[in-house]
Amino acid sequence: MSGETEPARTFVASAVTVGDDLPAMVVRLTRPDVVRYSGASTDLNPIHYSDRHALAIGLDGVIAHGMWTMGTALRVVTDWCVDPARVVGYGVRFTRPVRVPDTDEGVEVRFAGQVTAVADGVATVTLEATCGDDKVLGAARAEVRLD
């Protein structure tokens, strides 16, 4: 976690081109990971740990935080551009919930990104987050400063 053994990464801002694919990422998420995000974010909504509360509002069970999905998706961008301080804007729509079953396996969420615009020293990365066949984020775009 400290990054001490991380290989040196490089990011050549001048080489960023529309159509560049960013390395994709698959994250396996279990109930303990959701509880960890609840504590870290201070979002203690019970639909993120209690099936009873989730069912009461019409969900099929405990779901991950939308902000977890948003924040974890951005790792595709910050792993690529190395310095998170380059991120100057980021927006998403929360289209579908990520249901997290109470199993050791949990659920897999896949994240991918592509450079879809480069203008005025800023690259726009369009992100995708999918869980099974569901797109769980819509219109997910991050703006990355290139200078």
Q: Are 110 and 24 in contact (CB under 8 A)?
A: yes
Query: What does the alpha-carbon distance between residue 91 and residue 78 come to, in Å, rounded to a whole number?
Result: 15
**Residue 11 in the binding site for other proteins (CB under 8 A):** no
C-alpha torsion sign, points 126, 94, 25, 6: positive
Q: How far apart are CA 129 and CA 124, in angstroms?
A: 16
CA 82/CA 106 separation, integer angstroms: 29
Cβ-based nearer residue to other proteins, 8 or 17? 8
Which one among 18, 23, 24, 41 touches other proteins, defined by CB under 8 A? Answer: 41
- Looking at the Cβ atoms of 45 and 121, the one nearer to other proteins is 45
Does residue 55 belong to the site contacting other proteins (CB under 8 A)? no
Stretch that binds other proteins, among 16-24, 27-35, 115-123, 124-132 (CB under 8 A): 27-35
Q: Does 113 bind other proteins (CB under 8 A)?
A: no
Longest dimension (CA), the chain: 52
**51 touches other proteins (CB under 8 A):** no
Establish if 60 lies at the interface with other proteins (CB under 8 A).
no
Min CB(16)–other proteins separation in Å: 18
Neighbouring CB atoms inside 10 A of 101's CB total 14
Token reading at 137: 């984020």
The site for other proteins (CB under 8 A) is made up of 1-3, 6, 27-30, 33, 36-37, 39-43, 45, 57, 66-68, 70-72, 74-75, 78-79, 83-85, 87-94, 106, 109, 139
